[in-house]
Amino acid sequence: MKIAFVGKGGSGKTTLSSLFVRHLAATGAPVVAIDADINQHLGAALGLDDAEAAGLPAMGEHLSLIKDHLRGTNPRIASTEKMIKTTPPGEGSRLLRVREDNPVYDACARPVELDGGTVRLMVTGPFTDADLGVACYHSKTGAVELCLNHLVDARDEYVVVDMTAGSDSFASGMFTRFDITFLVAEPTRKGVSVYRQYKEYARDFGVTLKVVGNKVQGQDDLDFLHDEVGDDLLVTVGHSDWVRAMEKGRPPRFELLEETNSRALRTLRTAVDATYELRDWARYTQQMVHFHLKNAHSWGNERTGDDLAAQVDPGFVLGEEVATLA
């Protein structure tokens, strides 16, 4: 199951995504956690110290390896240089599975020990001074999008992505790559403004969007969120002494998280698992192709010197059966 956490900067989306990762790990579920935010804080939220977090391999620095692995023997892709972030899989492509070992995980993922289990953590890498003026941050997330395009995940397998803040996710098609998107919103006008943008942009793509109210302190906050987001409000989270200790680098055992917040995390998982029955791999593949053709026309063809529409395999539909056969 693929899960995105989005929200405005400072909403608490990284904290909540890390808590959800911890919750899944504590139940023994296989988890791949991906930090795709411009501010790389997921590693620290999962308990890594500054040196460990800084030492995580950046996916963008291994883009050639990622492309080479995913390309496989796909005859529609002439070379890795012709692959762009939206290149879809086809016959002969290598697909990624959550539980497997592969060169992409070897190069880009690192195990993180949490209470009750181990998760794989992958990061886009920070936006450095060298990038200023010459690179868009979405070039960093291209490796994530490419991996998601080739990922086949099953029931009870989880890929949790901490997305970049605000509505920047709509600069690519990555916002359509998830079974469910949790939008973390504070009970303020600014807090719900990103929700309105997301709701509007995602309207035509069948995105399952649920709001997690954060920093809710009373009935007035709850009423405000209900008024602003209606039935999309799934659950709310309030103050947490456990989180305060975690942010100081001294988290207690995860089993000591407040019961109200543990219950909220269980609600998130129930919502995630319910989306399995809604999966439509044909629509998922069609959306992938839609954004690939859009990117090919706007910049990809000119950059590569090829008509990248030829990379689309019209008979290919991504799915669990295809991955099993592969």
Q: Where does residue 324 rank: exposed (0-12), middle (13-18), buried (19+ CB within 10 A)?
A: exposed
Enter the pTM of the model.
0.93
- How confident is the model at residue 116, as a pLDDT? 73
The whole-angstrom separation of Cα 80 and Cα 69 is 9
CATH number (domain holding residue 272): 3.40.50.300
- Extract the tokens encoding 90: 């086809």
Our count of domains for the chain comes to 1
Q: Please say whether the beta carbons of 238 and 215 come within 8 A.
A: yes
Residue 274, pLDDT score:
97
Given this model, what pLDDT does residue 134 score? 37
The predicted structure's pLDDT at residue 250: 83
Distances (CA, A) of 130 to 62, 126, 134: 17, 11, 8
pLDDT score of 157? 97
Between CA 158 and CA 99 the distance in angstroms is 10
CA torsion, ordered 62, 63, 65, 67, to nearest 10 deg: 160
The ranges of the chain with pLDDT < 50 are 130-138
Res 111: pLDDT:
97
User: Domain containing 192: what range?
Assistant: 2-324
Distance CA 157, CA 171 (A): 27
**C-beta pairs of 269-272 under 8 Å, 24+ apart in sequence:** 269/20, 269/23, 269/24, 271/180, 271/210, 271/234, 272/1, 272/3, 272/158, 272/179, 272/180
Under DSSP, the state recorded for 310 is: G
Res 167: pLDDT: 62
Task: Please report the pLDDT score of residue 113 as a whole number.
Answer: 94
Say what the pLDDT of residue 194 is.
87
